[in-house]
A and B are shown apart, each in its own frame.
Chain A
Amino acid sequence: MDTSALRESATFDRATIRRIQQAAETGVYHIRGWGAKRPLPHFDDLLFLGASMSRYPLEGYREACGTDVVLGDRHASKPLHLDIPVTIAGMSFGALSANAKEALGRGASEAGTSTTTGDGGMTPEERGHSRHLVYQYLPSRYGMNPDDLRKADAIEVVLGQGAKPGGGGMLLGQKITERVAGMRTLPVGIDQRSPSRHPDWTGPDDLTIKIAELREITDWEKPIFVKIGASRPYYDTSLAVKAGADVVVLDGMQGGTAATQEVFIEHVGIPILAAIPMAVEALQELGVHRQVQLIVSGGIRTGADVAKALALGADAVSIGTAALIALGDNSPQFADEYEKIGSAPGFYDDFQDGRDPAGISTQDPELMARLDPIEGGRRIANYLRVLTLEAQTIARACGKSHVRNLEPEDLVALTLESAAMARVPLAGTNWIPGTEL
């Protein structure tokens, strides 16, 4: 058969057609993991200029290029001191297996950085294997207890996530095993929904009191982070600072999730590239840029992404999806098994479904056992090292003795969109769209 004249519709592509068919068959919307999959303006649309006649590079393998970062020294008596500006994002035990959580803790600790709990509480394995552990304080308050709060190294009040700003969480019944259910005080096997609003406060004035409460309970020791999904980052950052946050965590729309409606993932929120300059503007206007630290996430993959995020004004980045890939997610090693569940390496995003062949987003004991937490930890540490070395390589080339010294002036943009969003000039011009020439 000659198929050369068959033409796929750009509007109704095959995946779209299949979604319509599935909706018609089942009456249920599509829920999946991962983050936004459509093309979006991203860090790839930016380039570093590198040193030249007017700038001195640092000697690649000789001259020091610092990577450490202090998070939360505004009000907390015990801020976090991290060796590298790449942290592991909050991913719940429940969404991830206990082995995966342990591996993340081990890897982060080896690399000198922090890891984060998630919507489901703190496990002893995770606490035990994490040198720096950030404890999430979420609307659901699953497993929330003051002992764990005091055991944490920092507290992250979660208002939203880039994959679903304004949405609550979900965890499908396949993953609500006895242990997960016990930690969340829920019946085993139900499709769990987490609320989208905190139960005991609404709005920035209440948040101010809530943050004060968390500080009071922990005797003003712990840095308090506020995590927001990128939608109105200028206002949200301003209000978080006013409410007393030590650190603002900003997650763009590419940010991963364990289970969210696809319509939410692809259509709500803004890309991290657009969000960072707005948050930085808010911090600068309030005179607290670098005093209230900014951690950004959503599609960080390489040391170039790390360097670009820092150059735009972030103090650190956070990784979720990439950490799972480093652990073995989407590995060709499991090609046959992905096929059995209707997927393939490079496409697998059914984190909600609990049948992850790599043993990461599952609570099935057999699948989980495939992930060795020690080997997993080694892989995470390796990957974090590569991200750091790559970011240092770029920073040295730009003449910076510390990655935090990267600045917007080091960047140009490849497209009009990214120039306007990142507020750096279009390559080859002095033009930043949206500003006067």
Chain B
Amino acid sequence: MDVLEETVVDLASTPVRELNKALHEAEPGSRWRVENPRGAHNVAVGIHEDIRVTVEGHVGYFAAGMHQKGWLEIVGNAGTGLAENIMSGTVHVTGSTSQSTGATGHGGLIVVDGSTGARCGIAMKGVDIVVGGDIGHMSAFMAQAGRLVVCGDAGEALGDSIYEARIYVKGTVASLGADCIEKPMRDEHLAELGDLLAAAGRSDDPADFRRYGSARTLYHFHSHNTY
């Protein structure tokens, strides 16, 4: 990596509030390195300029929350709600993440090299999520739009009450949730999956994945559905 000017913020001595304020006021194109996060919550939330941020270490809840622009990497694990409601840009976690990764994300790309907990991609609204490992139960619950790629296995009730999001899983699926079904992999799906894997820096073969999506039987209230 080149030695362009990089601002270092040490969370051992700087409150998260100061870090976030500095990131909100950051010059476009600037580079940041955050050290010693030690599991702090709300690290690097609300970034709205095209900046590059590397966080060295594990973070708590809602890291990169509502990320709007730029590139953010967490070298470590992340807690609940990583990059919740992300709008665009890229968030990359080298380790694993907890629940609700990318919840309600509207756009952008989240890459988790490890695995995620439950509810990965819950209510996602356009974000793309690529997970190198496994995802927990109830993932993509009510997922509205966007794509969730899982290179490992998916937990129970995958895609329950899913709308128009597309899910690709390479490994096993413990069970599908209500209204989620397997769908054929057509050329356009292989192509988009190939692009997503490439964007995430992965070499998996799209042909090894299966696709899941909505059967659309819950789109209208009628006497035989359960709510």
Contacts and interface: CB of A to CB of B under 8 A. Distances in A.
Given A144-B85, A187-B219, A216-B46, A200 B62 contact: yes
The prevalent SS among residues of B at the interface is loop
A24 B223 CA distance: 11
A99 to B, nearest CB: 27
B93 interface: no
Interface string A160-194: 00000000000011000000000011110011010
A27 B222 CA distance: 8
B24 A200 contact: no
B111 interface: no
Contacts of B60: 209
A185 B85 contact: no
Contacts of A26: 223
A206 B66 contact: no
A144 B65 contact: no
A146 B219 contact: no
* Size category, A interface: 20 to 34
A209 B104 contact: no
Interface of B: 16-17, 20-21, 24, 41-42, 45-46, 48, 60-62, 65-66, 68, 80-81, 84-85, 87, 99-100, 103-104, 106, 119, 122-123, 125-126, 141-142, 144-145, 161, 163-164, 219-224, 227
A195 interface: yes
A365 interface: no
11 contacts: A28-B223, A31-B221, A144-B104, A146-B68, A186-B163, A190-B220, A200-B100, A209-B42, A213-B41, A216-B46, A219-B24
Contacts of A27: 222-224
Given A28-B222, A200-B80, A141 B66 contact: no
A141 B85 CA distance: 8
Interface of A: 26-28, 31, 140-141, 144-147, 149, 172-173, 184-187, 190-191, 193, 195, 199-201, 206, 209-210, 212-213, 216-220
Contact of A186 (B16, B81, B144): B144
A146 B46 contact: yes
A26 B20 CA distance: 54
Contacts of A209: 41-42, 60-62
A402 B81 CA distance: 44
Nearest to B80: A200
Contacts of B220: 173, 190-191
Contacts of B42: 209, 212-213, 216
Nearest to B65: A213
Instruction: Across the A-B interface, give the 5 residue pairs with the lowest CB-CB distance, nearest first.
Output: A27-B223, A217-B46, A200-B81, A200-B100, A141-B104
Nearest to A28: B223
A209 B84 CA distance: 13
Nearest to A210: B62
B80 A206 contact: yes
B223 A200 contact: no
A213 B221 contact: no
B17 A220 contact: yes
B142 A146 contact: no
Contact of A185 (B80, B81, B144): B144
Given A213-B41, A213-B62, A216-B20, A187 B103 contact: no
Nearest to B223: A27
B159 to A, nearest CB: 14
A31 B227 CA distance: 12
Contacts of B104: 141, 144, 199-200
A186 B142 CA distance: 11
Given A27-B222, A216-B46, 12 more contacts: A27-B223, A145-B87, A147-B48, A185-B126, A195-B142, A199-B84, A199-B122, A199-B141, A210-B61, A213-B65, A217-B65, A218-B46
| Most-contacted residue by chain B among A26, A31, A172, A199 (CB, 10 A) | A199
A16 to B, nearest CB: 20
B68 A219 contact: no
Given A185-B145, A206-B80, A190 B103 contact: no
A193 B123 CA distance: 12
A185 B100 contact: no
Contacts of A201: 61, 80-81, 100
A145 B106 contact: yes
A185 B104 CA distance: 11
Given A191-B220, A217-B45, A141 B123 contact: yes
